[in-house]
Structure 1
Amino acid sequence: MSEGVDEAGWDVEPGDEMEPVVQAVGRLLKVCREAAGVSVPEFGEAMGYGEDMIRKIERGARIPRPEFLDRADTFLKAQGHLRAFMEDMRKARYPKKVRELAEMEGRAVEMLAYGNHNIHGLLQTPEYARAMYAMRQPALTEDVVERETAARMARKAVFEREPAPTLSFVQEQVTLERPYGGKMVLRRQLEHLLEVSQLRNVTLQVMPTDREEHAGAAGLIEMLKFADGTAIGRSDGAFNGRPVSNPKDLRILDLRYGMIRAQALTPRESQTFIEQALERL
């Protein structure tokens, strides 16, 4: 893991809408440090990081983690001025596409998701997600792997919302058998699926490989439905994979997903299937 990944954050993406905020926080950090009469080397030593890392944060090239700002506020006696930006930096840590998806998931009252290759991101354990990012080609840097994994885990806040949204997942049998990261990672992943399936607002179903009829042969389907009656959805096998929001296109995705759910194992049968898969590991 590269220096500063744990506490100091990640490099800001050029052109990101959060870049000006990150730069403003960096300038504020520098002002607070200088007002406290602390040099860069002294501050770096106190925070446990090199001078280069501190300078990157102060010039807005590095996104400080909320924990970093919390510690810095205490050390520099900034009276809460740095802590005031902790939530902004928590959001800035994640890629723009992830922030946008998390925002929509945060508004959704119902979510439908059929996965045919991988376990859905909201259902993944950190180890499973990390294994998936680590095997990407071309290879991602360790920094990027950690950032993407953390971003995916942050989206799981959807399970803690009140009122809870209705979540429906259908997973292909093969996604429960492919041992990304090794058998121990898969075991923990399957155990996690059983835990999630116990939630009252979650329906988890398995699509067996031996089904002779399958409405999901065209690829994954995802839909988010909102309180105002609008929705957005996408599918690999429809509309060139583009997100759609008009009622006619959404009706097609809704129809396909309904058929997939009908063809899959029931929720109770699916839990039994996962338990049996665990026994075979």
Structure 2
Amino acid sequence: MTRMIDINPEESPRARFAYEVRRYRLAAGMTQKQLGRRLGFSTSAVAMVETSKFRPSERFAELCDEVFGLDGVIAGLYAEVWPPPPPVPAHFRDWAVEEQRATALRFWAPLLVPGLLQTEAFARRVISCSPDITEDEVERRVAGRMQRRAVFSRVDPPAVMCLLDEGVLHRPVGGPAVMREQLEYLLDLSRRPNFTIQVVPYDAEVLSGLLGAYTIAEMRGNAYTVRVESQPSGRTVTDRATITNMVRRYDAVRADAYPQHQSGKLIEEVVTQKWT
């Protein structure tokens, strides 16, 4: 007798895809080996898809619809889980998809304003500092970064919590005009109901957070992946134990942050006193 489905479809969109493939296979009375033969894939490939350990091709999803007699159901789920990414560097494409799909994003920024919260001028200055980058590549990457911000204009935008080290407000990226525009943009974002922006003061040790910036993506209250920024290109983490550890570190940093209203006042003071 085939075991009941034990993957949690609420854990992440990818888990939901795996759950539905397995559910329809069981409903069709097929074993993984039988489905694999019908699809032209190995039994192990089917098993890894059904346990969310392997990203299938779009063709896999389309063939599942054919085998199960569905009208684009599995292909539709695939498009939700792995939509075409915005024009970003190859190493960032998987994360660009995750941040568009997450229901909540939590940023820890000890050095720079997070890319998703940057203005065009700020982003251009940061990107242009990359070694050997061409002007055309700078413009492509800036355009991709601005396109990513469309997630905030959705009907159901993600909840956003951003912790900024106080030093971020004072680091002269691009000069006074660029910094003023950037900090004013953060203030505008902080006034939205789905945004919380808090500043972590200079005198907070936050030693667990000084190792680098990262972003936690959540789906329905569950943290399911983390983007860790590092040289030269960062990495995306899906290991559950590591994610749990990163969430605890985030909460420890947040415990030392100013409340949102106090953080807003501090940002306004820095704009007036330093960047005007």
Which one of 121, 130, 155 corresponds to residue 127 of structure 1? 121
Superposition RMSD in Å? 2.2
Which one of 68, 89, 99 corresponds to residue 105 of structure 1? 99
Correspondence list, 1:41-56, <5 A: none
Residue deviations 1:162-213 (CA, integer Å, cap 9, x gap): 2221111111111111121111110111110100111111110111112245
Structure 1 segments of 4 or more deviating over 6 A?
none
Instruction: Name the counterpart of 1:8.
Output: none
Tell me if 1:159 matches 2:152.
yes
Aligned to 2:250, what secondary structure does the other structure show?
helix
Aligned to 1:179, what secondary structure does the other structure show?
coil
How far off is 1:214 after superposition?
A: 4.0
Instruction: Name the counterpart of 2:241.
Output: 248
Tell me if 1:182 matches 2:175.
yes
Q: Normalising to structure 2: TM-score of the pair?
A: 0.63
What is the aligned residue count? Answer: 188
Tell me if 1:259 matches 2:252.
yes
1:127 counterpart letter in structure 2:
A
Aligned to 2:152, what secondary structure does the other structure show?
helix
Q: Is the 8 A contact 1:128 1:186 kept in 2?
A: yes
Q: Normalising to structure 1: TM-score of the pair?
A: 0.62
2:178 counterpart letter in structure 1:
V
Instruction: Name the counterpart of 2:34.
Output: none
| Identity fraction in percent | 34
Instruction: Name the counterpart of 1:118.
Output: 112
Q: Using the alignment, how far apart are the partners of 1:197 and 1:127 within structure 2?
A: 20
Q: Using the alignment, how far apart are the partners of 1:264 and 1:197 within structure 2?
A: 15
Q: Using the alignment, how far apart are the partners of 2:99 and 2:129 within structure 1?
A: 26
Q: Structure 2 unaligned runs (5+)? A: 1-83
How far off is 1:253 after superposition?
A: 0.6
Q: Is the 8 A contact 1:218 1:236 kept in 2?
A: no
Q: Is the 8 A contact 2:85 2:97 kept in 1?
A: no
How far off is 1:112 after superposition?
A: 0.9
Instruction: Name the counterpart of 1:207.
Output: 200
2:159 counterpart letter in structure 1:
T
